[in-house]
A = this chain, B = another copy of it.
């Protein structure tokens, strides 16, 4: 039995899958930023330090097959453009919201990997007094930076630049310490940036 769940058979713009999806399950050296964050978030969760999750990738389901009574097999679906950021949760009673991106470039971080929706979303996070930021990794240097959302939004909206220079990221961002557990100690940077009073 094939059920046409949602009637979008002739969807015109089909977003390409996020490259990270293809890297799912990859292990070993050169671990993706997504994997590092998932492992770190699990550690933070288990040690009760924070409650931060990656949201599922939004997928538009078109057709579902029911090969047996209790089984549902999706046989036609498409990746959707995300309307929000990938990660959110709670830390020290505050809402946390961020987007994580990696680039192979040695010289700059390209803005084209940020969706306009995500910029709008992070503006709203600020409006509602949440903590919003970007985590950007330069894979060539194995360096990962945390940058407050407002600084990226300002640069993004100037409109005359297509990227942020690596040097500029180093100036306005803070390098995230890397270790074994958690792999990315990004909450230490969040403490420095947003909870100075609490961690004195």
Point out residues on A near B: beta carbons under 8 Å.
3, 5-7, 14-17, 21-22, 24-25, 45, 48, 50-51, 53, 55-59, 61, 64, 70-80, 83-84, 88-95, 97, 121, 124-125, 127-130
Contacts and interface: CB of A to CB of B under 8 A. Distances in A.
Contact of A74 (B7, B70, B72, B74): B74
Main secondary structure of the interface of A (DSSP, over half): mixed
Contacts of A93: 94-95, 128-130
B55 A90 contact: no
A66 B187 CA distance: 38
Contact of A128 (B55, B64, B91, B127): B91
Contacts of A17: 64, 72
